[in-house]
């Protein structure tokens, strides 16, 4: 018996060196492959070999922000390498089909306007048509855009009840006319709305709310927002009244700032606890224009930390304002999905607190060292380009970041 055991042991041990050699060879091959991939140029439309000559010429005339491939510990991205690779692949191959139905003069296809607090919706409607992502061939499409604009409906005085009926009839008409919805029960379809009433307008189609991708400016869990399925659309109030802030730390002498309406529980508490504090500039009303021109916007320049408490219904543009003016945003909300959260590491350029932390707000902000604040501010300046809309869109702007979020979601859809 002992002899058999020894023989068995010898038989199993003899192939071991060969196995180790094989593993070493595989490891060497993998490292070589990764090294070669790392030598590829950074992502950018000007390097897209599938682009047409005309699009290359247009790209050459536009500034192309360079993605900073920093180490994971210092980068504003969760994984700089993964983001660069995914973004490049999105630029090369991502295609979206826009349903052609609906009269553009009513509620479909075209934006109402590109200004105001709902302008993000309008910019997306316009940008998708200006971009290389659009395809007229549904067989090439990764996703399908349902181009109905609740913002335009509201602008024409449409009631909430009628909006629900219009949306329901339009979507059901698309389902009956085209075969694409039924392939995935709508999982590869998405709609975009930045109007709080617009989010409610789709509630009459629960199968769409549950299955389709919702790109919304109200990414709070209390409006049926589903993280990792839906996309948080940044609410950007453009055009900005003043230039972006940056490299101006010495001018930021106010510890914290917030001015707004008490339209949520957390805002009521924030104003009640801190409105008389001498180090925090907290006001329970927006700063009146009668006090002076652009006083509200200029306060962002003088402040280190801008408080962004959750409000009722649609999220305000305060987060994007804070980023634009170089004021580190303090997210004060329990249930909120931050824009571009799959790519950006918000803790590198923002302070994220629970609502219960409002009572210790001042001590928390004062506990942040100058070195930590400088790091937050430096990272904040790096992400400013992601929170601006352009027409036509430019690389790494808000439109491209929304498309990147959609690109990530299309990868989990199976036909």
Question: Can you list the alpha helix ranges (DSSP code H) found in 73-195?
Answer: 80-93, 119-130, 150-155, 160-177, 180-184
Quick: pLDDT tens for 228-280: 899 999 999 889 999 999 889 999 999 999 998 887 899 999 999 999 999 99
75-79, 224-228, 363-367: which range is least confident on average?
A: 224-228
Quick: pLDDT tens for 119-155: 898 899 999 999 999 999 999 999 999 998 877 777 7
pLDDT, averaged across the chain: 80
343 phi and psi angles, rounded to 5 deg: -105, -45
Quick: pLDDT tens for 174-220: 999 999 999 999 999 999 988 666 667 777 778 888 899 999 886 65
Decide if pLDDT at 310 tops 50. yes
Decide if pLDDT at 70 tops 50. yes
Cis peptide before 157 (omega within 30 of 0): no
Q: 241-269 burial string, b = 16+ CB within 10 Å, else e?
A: eeeebeeeeeebebbbbbbbebebebbeb
Q: What is the pLDDT of residue 2?
A: 37
Q: Residues, the chain, total?
A: 415
Q: Where are the beta strands (DSSP E) in 266-408?
A: 280-283, 303-309, 328-332, 351-353
Report which of 318, 346, 312, 334 is spatially closest to residue 257, judged by C-alpha positions: 318
CA dist 170 and 168 (Å) reads 6
Give the global pTM: 0.79
Quick: pLDDT tens for 51-65: 332 343 344 334 344
Query: In the sheet that 351-353 helps form, which strands lie side by side, from edge to edge?
Result: 280-283, 254-259, 303-309, 328-332, 351-353
Assigned token pair, 281: 């500039």
- Burial of residue 354 (CB within 10 Å: 0-12, 13-18, 19+) is exposed
- Ordered structural domains, the chain, with CATH: 93-237+390-410 (no CATH), 249-387 (3.40.50.2000)
List the beta bridge partners of residue 145: 98, 190
Choice between 202 and 67, residue whose per-residue pLDDT is larger: 202
Assigned token pair, 219: 């990414």
Alpha-carbon distances, residue 395 vs 44, 66, 213, 347, 409 (angstroms): 7, 9, 23, 24, 20
């Amino acid at each position: 018996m002992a002899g058999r055991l020894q023989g068995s042991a010898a038989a199993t041990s003899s192939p071991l060196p060969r196995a180790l050699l094989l593993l070493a060879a595989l490891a060497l091959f993998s490292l070589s492959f990764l090294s070669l991939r790392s030598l590829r140029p950074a992502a950018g439309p000007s390097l897209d070999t599938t682009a047409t000559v005309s699009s290359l010429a247009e790209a050459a005339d536009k500034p192309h922000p360079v993605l900073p491939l920093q180490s994971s510990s210092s980068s504003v991205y969760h994984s700089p390498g993964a983001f660069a690779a995914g973004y490049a692949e999105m630029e090369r191959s991502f295609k979206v089909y826009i349903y052609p139905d609906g009269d553009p003069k009513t509620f479909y296809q075209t934006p109402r306007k590109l200004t105001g607090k709902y302008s993000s919706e309008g910019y997306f409607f316009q940008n998708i048509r200006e971009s290389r992502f659009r395809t007229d061939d549904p067989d090439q499409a990764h996703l399908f855009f349902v181009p109905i604009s609740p913002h335009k409906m509201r602008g024409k005085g449409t009631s909430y009840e009628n909006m629900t009926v219009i949306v329901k009839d339009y979507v059901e008409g698309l389902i009956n006319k085209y075969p694409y919805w039924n392939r995935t029960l709508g999982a590869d379809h998405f709609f975009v709305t930045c109007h709080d009433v617009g989010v409610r307008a789709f509630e009459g189609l629960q199968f769409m709310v549950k299955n389709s991708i919702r790109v919304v400016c109200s990414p709070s869990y209390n409006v049926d927002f589903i993280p990792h399925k839906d996309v948080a659309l940044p609410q950007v109030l453009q055009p900005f009244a003043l230039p972006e802030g940056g490299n101006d730390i010495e001018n930021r002498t106010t510890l914290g700032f917030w001015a707004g309406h008490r339209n949520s529980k957390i805002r009521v508490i924030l104003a009640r606890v801190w409105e008389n504090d001498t180090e925090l500039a907290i006001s329970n009303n927006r700063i009146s224009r009668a006090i002076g021109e652009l006083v509200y916007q200029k306060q962002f320049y003088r402040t280190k930390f801008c408080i962004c408490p959750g409000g009722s219904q649609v999220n305000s543009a305060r987060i994007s304002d804070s980023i634009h003016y170089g004021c580190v945003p303090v997210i004060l909300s329990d249930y909120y999905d931050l824009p571009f959260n799959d790519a950006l590491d918000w803790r590198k350029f923002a302070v994220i607190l629970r609502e219960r932390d409002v009572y210790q707000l001042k001590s928390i902000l004062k506990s942040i060292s100058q070195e930590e604040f400088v790091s937050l501010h430096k990272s904040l300046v790096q992400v400013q380009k992601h929170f601006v809309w352009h027409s036509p869109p430019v690389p790494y702007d808000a439109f491209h970041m929304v498309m990147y979020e959609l690109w990530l979601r299309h990868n989990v859809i199976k036909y």
